[in-house]
Amino acid sequence: MFTPGFKLFAGLATIGIIGAFVYGLSSGDAGGPDYFGFVDRNAIIGLVSLGWKGNVGSANGFIVLIFMSISAALIGGTAVAFRDADVESVAELGDSASAMPLAQRPTAPSWWPAASAVGLGVLLIGLVMDTKAFWIIGLVLLATVAVEWALTAWADRSTGDAVTNLAVRDRVGASFEIPLLGVALGGVLALSISRMFLWATGNTAVVIAGVLSLVIIAVALLAAFRPQIGRRALGAIIGVVSVVIIGLGILTAVVEPLHGHHGDHGEEDGEQHSALVVLESTVETA
Amino acid sequence: MTLTEIESDVSAPPAVRETMAPAVYQRLPKNILADGVSSGDHKVIGRLWILGSLLFGLFTLVADVLVRIERLNTDSVDLFSQASTFEQWFTLHRVSLVFLFVVPLLIGIAMVMVPLQIGAPSLAFPRAASAALWSWAVAGVIMVVSWAIDGGLINGVPAEGPVGQATQLSMLSFAAVVIALLVASMVIVTTIFTERSQGMSLYNVPLFTWSMLVAAGIWLLSLPVLVSNLMLMWIDARGPSAQGFGGEQYYNQISWVFDQPQVFAFAIPVLGMLGETVPVALRRRLKQYDLAMVAIGLFGALSFGAYAQTFFNPNANTTWLYVVGSIALILPLLAMLGSVALTGAAAGRAPIFSAHLALSAMALVALFTAGAVSTVRVLDSLLAPVVGFANRVVGFIQNVFDGQEGSREGWKFLSDFEGWIGSTFDEIAGTSVGGAMVQLVLIAGLLAGIAGLYYWAPKILGRKLPTSLGLLAGLSILGGGVLSALPDAISGFLDQPEFVAEASQRDGVELLNLISMLGSLGVFAGFGALLLALPAAFFFGADNDDDEDERNPWQGHTLEWLSESPPPPGNFEGPYVVTSEAPLLDDDFVNPYAEGASA
Amino acid sequence: MSGTTFSPTDLAHAVVTEAPAPFVPRKRTLQIGTAAFTAIWVMYFGGLFGAYVSARNSFKDLQADIVARDGGTAASWIPDSAQVELTAPTIMAWTLLMSIITMQWAVYSFKRNDRRHSLIALATQAMFGAAVINQVVFQWNQLGLVIDDPGSGATPLIYAITASHVAMIAVALCLLAFAAFRALASSNTSDHVDVAASAATFWYAMVGLYFVIWILIFITK
């Protein structure tokens, strides 16, 4: 009737309860024992009422032991309810009692567990830094991992062939991954280009705009010549161009802008006005 | 969505293997990095746990040597820039010894071997195990780095201003390390419950598997309390000025993890390894198998120590539960020893000597020694009340005979004895006696892990490890461990504090610290021998021929010895049916996949 | 993204073919795992509750000693500046009680292959969870506790406990989302009762822990 798994965890639960009572009684009430040199009425009331009335002495240890017995009872109760999940008892749940269900097979390779560690690391660092962006990025990464992991787990159950399952996963996932990635990449590129324009002066900005336009046209022309240019080659070119633009965006965001400090446009205007006045006065003097 | 239009290009794998592993494993490119990081095969995941633990272990043992070198001179701080830096490295060494070295090593061996022992193709949640691995690794690196850059838990609440970011990062990353270990424990518990072979109830599981079920269960019940301590400290530390959940040092709030009885929870698998290696060496089943299972379960229950938090209750280590529980830990060890002795007597011959048998025995010796030290630590709380009570009884009897009333001192020598116990043993609280016990317990856990590596090397690595290097490693680690711990235990009686650099000025302490430092060098040398053994097995070992000797070189009794060395993805040719805890010894056990077996 | 060699063009023109039947994992695995996972959370809260009660008792004992020695009135455990109202916690308690019924309704619907009611129940459940989180945030503003306040140490403890409970609700909502995903993505919800039952186990534990919080922090203060 009682399975060995239940006996183990029920034993832990019983030891926890007994330990809690012994600990609460022996750590005692500050007033000391009331009867026979060791019976403490307040402590006994505290134990029986689980700390509601009376005084169990060291409440921390008492509560930890009580919760230990609750947790162990939870696992033990689950174990006995499911007969320790013995394969014979699980087989009775199926259509045919004679067919023993197979144990879990190794899953197909997946990068998402490792990606969850990256998200965790970003989250940890973000939680102690003063900027919110880091831990929000960490949370977004973890949420992404959770969605992709769930999708992969669902696809693993679609057929018995792992290659087919990977294709199913891609088919379903591509419908939202590609648009989202496209938006994200587009947003990052736009942000990088905006940093470049903020860094540049008037003429330099014109040059930058011209170069960027030519690059975009060139990539578009290359794409138009597919399939002579392979998908991988085109992807590599777009990747390199994106990395260069993002890199330049980061660089221009940190270096001193060509036209002076960022944001000091009022003062710059004032200075330019004053410079113009000086020039005009110089010309007039001349 | 229903699948209707996908064309598969997979070539038909061997039909019988398809039931045990996806065909994709037959066609994976041989890319170690990609296969390792993304693998869903429990053996790859387990190997990475073991590799990570060994790398962190190298760092941990170097830190141990440095800390002990610092204590050679008790007058000043020489090696580290200041006393607080020494304390940071001391506590980092201790934390990493448990959570980055010994426990992950045992988890890694369990991840490889538990599915093999129960006849399963995989863990219950392979991707969760992989996520736990990588999260542990990333959080472990962040923890070590943050600790090293003036973080750690040795700092207390500052007089004004917020707690430093490095300290906060240490708290969070430590919590993340523990959570990763908890997820791994959850995977192990679930695997043992749900993936067993037909006919294998929990009464019939191999003892290492049973010990990992108990150990993982106790970790599940005790380590979340550590996470709650860390989260409480961190939330307090986030405020503009902290309230003080840490007092003078944050480490005080979590010191219960590195104290008895909790620290013994990290050595539960020692009993499991003994139960695996001894019957195989004696070529017979373990006698009193049920007793051995009860002993392991009882050892686990007695090692639950989350209640004994001296930060919240300074008298926690003098309560009856603590004292009796600490001493009672010896009983399951004796029961296990009894079961082993009965098996040896029944075998009627000497066991077949092997490195893994010797290492398991050494682990038990270290555990017994740790038990003795833990008993010494609670002697005053046990003996003083007993002697005092006995003296009061004597006084009461004397009153009766003399016709007097009131309290009365009984025999003077009992009073003097009670006073001596109190003055001698009460003062060892907070001294290096505690550190000695922790060192011995973790040495025992480490030796059990190395015993597991040696015993199951054909399955974990695909070849046996050199016996000579294993014996050298074991003797050096055990000898060095005892040599580093016992002088600490003695110097604790000479007022050597636990982790203060400028320590006791009493005569003899520096000599004891020198012996202790030499012992730590011995442990490091033994670990070096283990690290040499691993490549030596590949460079000098024989190739695997997949014959019977290679599959089961030790004549083992349990299911893992039916698989190839190393096992392929899916582990076995198919599911097995077992009827006892040692199926390979059963006369009626038939391996349906052996050559010549009938269908 | 996953290493497959198929291109979208290949998939669009693929030929109908037979794929082998999916591997069906053993039942009960997820439920045993969830029981272990829930036990971790219960022990985590046990540590927090033990710290809370221990700190509160120590503070009250200290205040009693001070009053006995110096006279005057004892300081309160929760700072006087905090506004502890029972309305929000009580509403949360009733909300969570109702959520027990909807959670069991969801499990029942899963067993009966009733996809529509499964999703309605899970959506209602998620709404209850979101409502409770909203109430907690409202209560934080209402309490007005600042960790900087010197005094009893109640503030970090209260935030640690309530924030951890919010995290537990968030995890429970994620489990509900997985259950809903399985209900949406399969033709027979009865094949996925394990997922719903696992989510239910965790949810009930979350509700039980909330009642301990309600009594410990808001009723007994």
Give the pLDDT confidence of A258-273 residue by residue, as tens digits: 665 544 444 444 444 4
Q: Which residues of C touch A109 (CB under 8 A)?
A: 3
CA-nearest residue of chain B to A152?
Answer: B127
Instruction: Using 50 as the pLDDT threshold, list the residues of chain B that sit under it.
Output: 1-19, 27, 29, 598-599
DSSP string covering B292-319 = HHHHHHHHHHHT--TT--TTT-TTGGGS
Q: What are phi and psi of A89, to 5 degrees?
A: -70, -35
The SS3 assignment for A249 reads helix
**Which of A272, A273, A282 lies closest to A201 in space, CA to CA?**
A272
Q: Is residue B5 part of a domain?
A: no
Give the lowest-confidence range in A79-93, A255-269, B540-554, C172-186: A255-269
Judge whether residue C10 has pLDDT over 60: no
Residue C134 lies in a domain: yes
Rounded distance, CA B333 to CA B430, Å?
A: 26
pLDDT tens by residue, B81-105: 777 888 889 999 999 999 999 999 9
C-alpha span between B114 and B196 (Å, rounded): 10
Q: How does pLDDT run across A26-37, given as a tens digit for each residue?
A: 776 656 656 555
Assess if residue C54 is contained within a domain: no
**Is any Cβ of chain A less than 8 angstroms from the Cβ of B193?**
yes
> What confidence tens digit (pLDDT) does each residue in C134-149 have?
999 999 988 888 776 6
Which candidate from A111, A150, A160 shows the least CB-CB separation from C21?
A160
Chains adjacent to C (≥3 CB pairs closer than 8 angstroms):
A, B
Determine, yes or no, domain membership for B30: no
In-domain check, residue A15 = yes
Q: At what angle do helices B165-194 and B207-238 cross, to 10 degrees?
A: 150
Query: Domain span at residue A50?
Result: 4-91
Quick check: is B477 in a domain?
yes
Nearest Cα residue in chain A from B323: A23
Closest among B303, B296, B220, B215 to B259, alpha carbons compared: B303
Query: Does B15 reside within a domain?
Result: no
User: If pLDDT is split at 50, 70 and 90, which confidence band does A283 have?
Assistant: very low
SS3 A35: strand
Residue B587 tokens read as 């006369």
From chain A, pick out residues whose CB is under 8 angstroms from the CB of C4.
163, 166-167, 170
Would residue C20 count as lying in a domain? no
Tell me whether residue C55 is in a domain. Answer: no
- DSSP 8-state symbol, C14: P
Q: Is the peptide bond prior to A4 cis by the omega test (within 30 degrees of 0)?
A: no
CATH number at residue C90: 1.20.120.80
Counting one residue from chain A and one from chain C, the pairs whose CB atoms sit within 8 A come to 122
C41–B224: do the CB atoms touch at under 8 Å?
Answer: yes
CA distance B329 to B271: 12
Residue reference for tokens 């067919």: A99
Quote the minimal CA–CA distance from A35 to chain B in Å: 16
Select the residue from C48, C62, C178 to test the B interface by mutation, using most B Cβ atoms within 10 A. Answer: C48
More confident residue, B251 or C22: B251
Q: Domain total for chain B?
A: 1
For B366, the domain range is: 37-585
pLDDT number for residue A282: 46
Higher pLDDT, B30 or C210: C210
**In a domain? residue C48:** no
Q: How distant is the Cα of C129 from the closest Cα of chain A, in angstroms?
A: 18
Best of B307, B322, B573 to disrupt the A interface (most A CBs within 10 Å) is: B307
Verify whether the Cβ–Cβ distance C14 to B313 is below 8 Å.
Answer: no
Higher pLDDT, residue C15 or A233:
A233
Q: What value does the mean pLDDT take over residues A99-112?
A: 83
Is residue A80 a part of any domain in this protein?
Answer: yes
Q: In a mutagenesis test of the A interface, which of C7, C15, C18, C26 is the best target, namely the one with the most A β-carbons within 10 Å?
A: C26
Residues of B in contact with A167 (CB under 8 A): 6
Q: What is the mean pLDDT of residues A48-66?
A: 79
Closest approach of C47 to chain A, Cα-based (Å): 6
> What does the buried/exposed string (b/e) look like for A227-264 if buried means 16 or more CB atoms within 10 Å of the residue's CB?
eeeeeeebeeeeeebeeebbebbeebbeeebebeeeee
Task: Output the pLDDT for position B96.
Answer: 96
What pLDDT score was predicted for residue A227? 64
Chains that touch B (3 or more CB pairs under 8 A): A, C
| C164 within a domain of the structure (yes/no) | yes
Asked if the Cβ–Cβ distance from A107 to B124 is below 8 Å, we say: no
C97 domain-assigned:
yes
Amino acid making up residue B443 = I
Q: What is the pLDDT of residue A275?
A: 40
CATH number where B179 lies: 1.20.210.10
Distances (CA, A) of B399 to A207, B268, B402, B411: 110, 50, 5, 12
In a domain? residue B233: yes
For B9-35, b where at least 16 C-beta lie within 10 A, e where not — what string? eeeeeeeebbbbbbbbbbebeeeeeee
Q: Specify if B8 maps to a domain.
A: no
Within 10 angstroms of residue B331's Cβ, the number of other Cβ atoms is 14
Whether residue A51 lies inside any domain: the answer is yes
- Count CB pairs under 8 A between chains B and C: 123
Q: Please check whether residue B393 touches A, CB under 8 A.
A: no
User: What is the reported pLDDT for B159?
Assistant: 64
| Token couple for A56 | 């169990």
Q: Rounded mean pLDDT of chain A?
A: 81
A47 touching B (Cβ < 8 Å) = no
Nearest CA in chain C to A87: C26
Which of B23, B34, B189 is the closest to A162 by Cβ? B23
d(CA B218, CA A8): 11
- pLDDT exceeds cutoff 90 at A156: no
Q: Does C46 touch chain B (CB under 8 A)?
A: yes
Which amino acid makes up residue A5?
G
Q: How many structural domains is chain A composed of?
A: 1
Query: Whole domain around residue C111: which residue ranges?
Result: 83-221
Of A23, A90, A111, the CB nearest to B37: A111
Q: Which of B214, B243, B250, B307 is the best mutation test for C, with the most CBs of C within 10 A? A: B243
Lowest mean pLDDT among A59-63, A173-177, B27-31, B296-300: B27-31
Q: Is residue A145's pLDDT more than 80?
A: yes
Nearest CA in chain A to C27: A90
Chain B hits for A110, CB-CB cut-off 8 Å, are 38, 40, 127, 130
On whether any CB of chain B is under 8 Å from the CB of A233, the answer is no
CA-wise closest residue to B84 among B240, B250, B229, B226? B250
Tell if the CB–CB gap between C19 and A68 is shorter than 8 Å: no
Question: Touching check for B137 and chain A: CB below 8 Å?
Answer: yes
Chain C residues whose beta carbon lies within 8 Å of the beta carbon of residue B125: 29, 33
Please tell me if residue A19 touches chain B, with a CB cutoff of 8 Å. yes
Q: Is residue B11 part of a domain?
A: no
Whether residue B144 lies within 8 A of chain A, CB to CB, comes out as no
Give the separation between CA B383 and CA B422, rounded to whole angstroms. 9
pTM: 0.89
Q: How many domains does chain C have?
A: 1
Residues constituting chain C = 221
- What is the structure's pLDDT at B2? 36
